[in-house]
Amino acid sequence: MFNGKMKALTFSYDDGVTQDRRLIGLFNKYGLKCTFNLNSGTLGTGGPMIREEVTIPHVKPRASEVRAIYEGHEIAAHTVTHPWLNRLTDEEVIREVEEDRLALSEIAGYEVVGMAYPMGTHAMNDHVADLIRQHTGIRYARTTTSTYSFDLQDDLIVFDPTVYHHREWDQLFELGQKFVELDPAEPKLFYVWGHAYEFDIHDDWDRFEEFLKLVSGKKDIFYGTNREVLLGEGGPHA
């Protein structure tokens, strides 16, 4: 169970961009928790980027700003430089992950133990996962493969999310309604991921807030960071 509850909702957002400030404002407004996966080697860099023929900001906060920005939520790793891990040597994979974890731990003021795979599931494989499992301090790592399921998973180093908000809006709302109405006999987890800058592409901030309204404030749902849900005192893997 999750802190005495059978259902838990958690969010995971990648890259560590300045739009995270606005996203955190929404999460705080609705009493929700998120894990933010950062690249320590690119903090303080960035500029405009083009997505779906739209130019949007893709700027990383400075290291000195990180602790204050993400206060109340979780900081997790995303590798130092955001490479395709399956194209690196074993030593490079370990260095990218563990150096990022250690650098972010120093910045955050607590030990970072989670991560999200950079470039998605297609940029990692079982060998990469085993390297991380055996040679780093990472205790859970998120892929980008949607399950559309609330079932729990045994392998936390290859952990698949429920749904990707930006590419799967219809599924997001359908699953949200289903989860709110669910009265399970065993623990269930709703895991949403994405990138905050994606809300700028089609100005979907209001749309996402409607989803947050739908799923927040329910007495039978535990709202936690990835760490709290997967590893914490209220999580099923504690």
Low-confidence ranges of the chain (pLDDT < 70): 233-238
pLDDT for 167 = 85
- With beta carbons less than 8 A apart as the criterion, state whether 223 and 9 touch: yes
The residue with tokens 């809300």 is 199
Q: What is the pLDDT of residue 238?
A: 39
- Tens digit of pLDDT for each residue in 103-138? 999 999 999 999 999 999 999 999 999 999 999 999
Which sign, positive or negative, has the C-alpha torsion 196, 197, 201, 202? positive
Q: Going by C-beta distance under 8 Å and a sequence separation of 6 or more, which residues neighbour residue 51?
A: 197, 198, 201
pTM listed for this prediction: 0.96
Alpha helix positions (H), 1-125: 20-29, 63-69, 90-108
Task: Classify 219 in phi/psi space as left (phi over 0), alpha (psi -120 to 50) or beta.
Answer: alpha
Amino acid identity of residue 100, one-letter, is: D
Give the pLDDT confidence score for residue 166 in this predicted structure: 86
B/e letters for 69-106, b = 16+ CB within 10 Å, e = fewer, are bbeebbbbbbbbebbebeebeeeebbbbbbbbbbbbbe
The Cα–Cα gap between 117 and 35 comes to 13
| Gyration radius of the chain's alpha carbons | 17
Kindly write down the DSSP assignment for every residue of 159-224, as one continuous string: BPPSEETTT-HHHHHHHHHHHHH---SS-EEEEEEE-GGGGGTTT-HHHHHHHHHHHSS-TTEEE-
In this predicted structure, what is the pLDDT of residue 233? 43
**DSSP code of 2?**
B
Q: What is the pLDDT of residue 1?
A: 86
Domains of the chain and CATH, by start: 7-230 (3.20.20.370)
Cβ–Cβ contacts within 10 Å for residue 35, how many?
Answer: 28
pLDDT value of position 200: 97
Q: Determine the 3-state secondary structure of 61 from DSSP.
A: coil
Pair 39, 15: CB distance under 8 Å: yes
- Give the CA distances from residue 190 to residues 39, 47, 214, in Å, rounded to whole numbers and listed in that order: 25, 33, 13
Give the pLDDT confidence of 74-92 residue by residue, as tens digits. Answer: 999 999 999 999 999 999 9
